[in-house]
Structure 1
């Protein structure tokens, strides 16, 4: 009897264990086959709102609100991408190189002469933004300072205006609501008089400048054509300027032949006006010796840097300046920030030093730099050589690095105040493209990301070279190709 009971209990235990195993198996089958399989986590509202993963991990988020509510779909096949891209590119003048790559998988979906180094125009600015953020930090602000040196033989105190790399100074009061004009020369003049009063300094003062943060023998890059300067695309690269090398705000304004000298005269004029106003009320004790040509200081650089500033103003954060330069393709800001970044990285603050920094940044982003030759930070030089594959590699590397996704956030988008503002006016491309434009007399390019209707984010670069001034047809062909991919 005992043996029978033991046998019954054993049988019951075995049945229970078998039932549990079956239930577990059914649960696993139900989860795998009845619930949807997600290729990636649910996507946030924009690719710029969170760092996209590396090409070997799950897919990044879609920048389109429509796609944000569901997981990205299947990756388009190379045949589908080719069918979408080629009709548009067939209409492009010159020679076309292009690459489209799925960001989540790293798979190249379309390639056309993508390894051929070309002059990509302002697409270089994406790499510039990455290098600047990496070297300076997105939250860093750039100072413009005034240092007071002891009286000269004539008894005048020398006020040295020290350029710290801010070329978006305003001529009036500091405006915290703007990137250009965040730091104002009128505010700096007011603080200078206050600082002199605190130190008990009265009498005659003179204004001089110190621009030695940058070390170029020629502030104009020898790789730039004379036409680039004459057309106002660029001015001498100096660490002191107003409104991106202009006398007034607005990217359509003409640039100045000597931006630093103009900024120094604007500061001197504000200081003189404020000093006279104080003198009339009996409160002031400073007289500005106004000079038409404001000289560079003769004081050693070390002495200027060691002196306690009388006053200073600070630029908008570097991250906001990068957003500004990408949105407006602001050449002066790109070159100046690249110089400042080179100095911060321990390299010469020169055109060549900045170019080396950019190539090193590309390597840090995982790009094969063979054949790459960067000669400026703005893309104005026709001698720049980067391939479409390398530009796509830069975008891919940025998407994989949380510290640098701020650069992808800053890429121009259709409908915004940017160089892409009036392009891609129709959905789905209107909500799917984020890209840096590029235009030279022989080059039209577009580099960035495009999101398909199913939520796949593709990094891409299309460069039409040797266009011989056929800019509008080249731009239309590129836009047609990218828009067709957005519709996949």
Structure 2
């Protein structure tokens, strides 16, 4: 073989190995915030059925015991020296800089701290605070209404599709067995036809939208990079959307640029079909683009709807967003909560609401800087001490049970599905994952072998895409805690 041929072969092999390494990294990232687009493992469904997003159970399957405010006081107290011996060696191997705090969930005693007061980008651990805020402000049993209001129009009855903050609408019939798709646009269209006939309305109808529940100038947060939008991690934050800003169910589906426009056209199609099926004298003036209504917002809100559908309760949506690290649902629920709290439903108003709710639960928010509700922006700054304190508060407050029970667990349909295989932590951990290109985090609870519940937060910063070794170090530390 000539030197030139040998050099060409070496170069080709190098290119292949580099490509394989990049593919392996992308597969690792696909399980979390940075690229949360692969569907989590789900139980097989019949071929004719869409992938199911079942209502989260109140307690984890498989015999695991969900930590609770009463269970956290059981078991023998843990010696801080044992915690340090368990955690420190693992974190010493982590890439970048590790910050961590472990505390007794029952007493609040800090058992271990490593750079715990250093502000870091929490990544999706921030969704725990968003979930707490949604439950606090809206209530776990609250449902979000998508409605249709009939107003007199120019030669046709105007049917205003009013977005009420349900980002998990279904395109078909309402499905009571799902979180995404609990409220369906087909059901809403059928109810609209029935409601109009009941009122004696006849003649042409035309669909418009009212998205004024949210008041941002732009539906995209300027703190998000274009790459986050292009990769499908987030899209326009609007109070009307199907499947978390997607055209079909499943967190592996692509998001669309204008979820509200898609939902409005889907409703218009279903309305046309419902009119045809019913034989009603309600010809639909279909348009390629469904416009925003020009009716005053006050008039829309003051008019009794002709039809409505209700979302899954907020508590179930919170469990869904935590399990799947659902950025879109987190952002939408945060704005709905801001509006309910009497604040503007805007990117700028949400961080203040989140900080206020953290403070209300006893978390010292000094130094906390937030710019979104999903943790997508690396500009967010929180400490491990604050995150562990928030977890402790979740454990202590029975009203926050949907957040506690909604935290991902190994082996379930969640971002922790494939973590901790064969480890004692597999039956002991309930925690929110987080991943950005420079950050890997895990925040939640771990139950020791004696039954003591520990609240923890571990954040590896400056990892420079070294996602796998950072996760391995965190998992080793948490597994060691579970073995205590």
User: Which of 350, 356, 363 is the aligned partner of 1:360?
Assistant: 356
Q: CA deviation at 1:45?
A: 7.7
The answer for the alignment partner of 2:223 in structure 1 is 223
Partner of 2:130: 128
Worse-matched range after superposition: 168-177 or 404-413:
404-413
State the partner residue of 1:297: 293
**Structure 1 residue 86 displacement after superposition:** 1.8
- 1:105 deviates by 2.1
Instruction: Tell me: CA distance 1:341–1:119, structure 2 relative to 1, closer, same or farther (3 Å).
Output: same
1:51 lines up with 2:69 in the alignment: yes
C-alpha distance in structure 2 between counterparts of 1:106 and 1:205, whole Å: 60
**Deviation of residue 142 (structure 1)?**
0.2
CA distance, structure 2, for counterparts of residue 88 and residue 287 of structure 1:
67
Residue number among 93, 106, 109 corresponding to 1:107 in the alignment: 109
- Kept after mapping to 1: 8 A contact 2:214/2:335: yes
Q: Distance in 2 between matches of 1:93 and 1:299?
A: 56
Q: For the structure 1 residues 286 and 233, does the alpha-carbon distance in structure 2 shift closer, same or farther, using more than 3 Å as the test?
A: same
CA distance in structure 2 between the aligned counterparts of 1:98 and 1:151, rounded to whole angstroms: 60
Cross-structure match for 1:467: 463
Deviation per CA, 1:35-77, whole angstroms, max 9, x where unpaired?
xxxxxxxxx98444x434xxxxxx725xxxxxxxxx512x222
- Per-residue Cα deviation, 1:211-251 (whole angstroms, up to 9, x for no partner): 00001111101111111101000011000000000000000
Of 368, 374, 392, the match for 1:372 = 368
Cα distance in 1 for partners of 2:469, 2:203 equals 64
Aligned mate of 1:438, from 410, 434, 437: 434
- Paired residues of 2:65 and 2:428 also in contact (CA < 8 A): no
Query: Is residue 383 of structure 2 the alignment partner of residue 387 of structure 1?
Result: yes
Q: Does residue 243 of structure 2 align to residue 243 of structure 1?
A: yes
Residues 85-118 of structure 1 show CA distances to partners (whole Å, capped at 9, x for unaligned) of: 1221122111110011011222111110000010
Please name the residue that 1:171 is paired with.
171
TM-score by length of 1: 0.85
Pick one of 53, 75, 83 that aligns with 2:85. 83
Superposition pairs for residues 254-269 of structure 1, below 5 Å? 254-269=254-269
User: 1:410-429, aligned counterparts within 5 Å?
Assistant: 410-429=406-425
CA distance in 1, matches of 2:250, 2:396: 34
Q: Which residue of 1 aligns with 2:335?
A: 339
The answer to whether 1:252 aligns with 2:246 is: no
Structure whose CA Rg is larger: 1
Which range moves more in the overlay, 158-167 or 420-429?
420-429
CA contact (8 A) 2:64 2:428 kept: no
| Counterpart Cα distance in 1 of 2:377 and 2:303 | 39
In structure 2, C-alpha distance between the alignment counterparts of 1:405 and 1:463, rounded to whole Å: 24
Are residues 1:455 and 2:445 paired? no
Distance across 2 between alignment mates of 1:208 and 1:470: 48
CA distance in 2, matches of 1:266, 1:442: 39
Deviations 1:128-152 (A, max 9, x none): 0000000000000000000000131
Deviations 1:193-222 (A, max 9, x none): 001101111111110000000011111011
Distance 1:277 1:322 in 2: 37
In 1, the alpha carbon distance for the partners of 2:114 and 2:243 equals 40
Q: 2:72 aligns with which of 60, 76, 80?
A: 60
- Give the counterpart of 2:75 among 53, 72, 75: 72
SS across alignment from 1:192: helix
Equivalent residue for 1:284? 280
Aligned partner of residue 272 in structure 2, secondary structure: helix
What is the CA–CA distance in structure 2 between the aligned matches of 1:426 and 1:370, rounded to whole Å?
A: 39
Distance 1:434 1:182 in 2: 26
For the Cα contact (< 8 Å) 1:367–1:394, is it kept in 2? yes
Q: Is the 8 A contact 1:272 1:288 kept in 2?
A: yes
Cα distance in 2 for partners of 1:137, 1:330 equals 19
TM-score normalised by length of structure 2: 0.86
> What CA distance in whole angstroms lies between the structure 1 residues aligned with 2:372 and 2:347?
6
Which runs of 5 or more structure 2 residues have no equivalent in the other structure? 1-62
- Contact 1:392–1:459 at 8 Å: present in 2 too? yes
Larger RCO: Structure 1 or Structure 2 (Cα < 8 Å, ≥ 6 residues apart)?
2
Residue in 2 aligned with 1:486?
A: 482
RMSD over equivalenced CA pairs, Å:
1.3
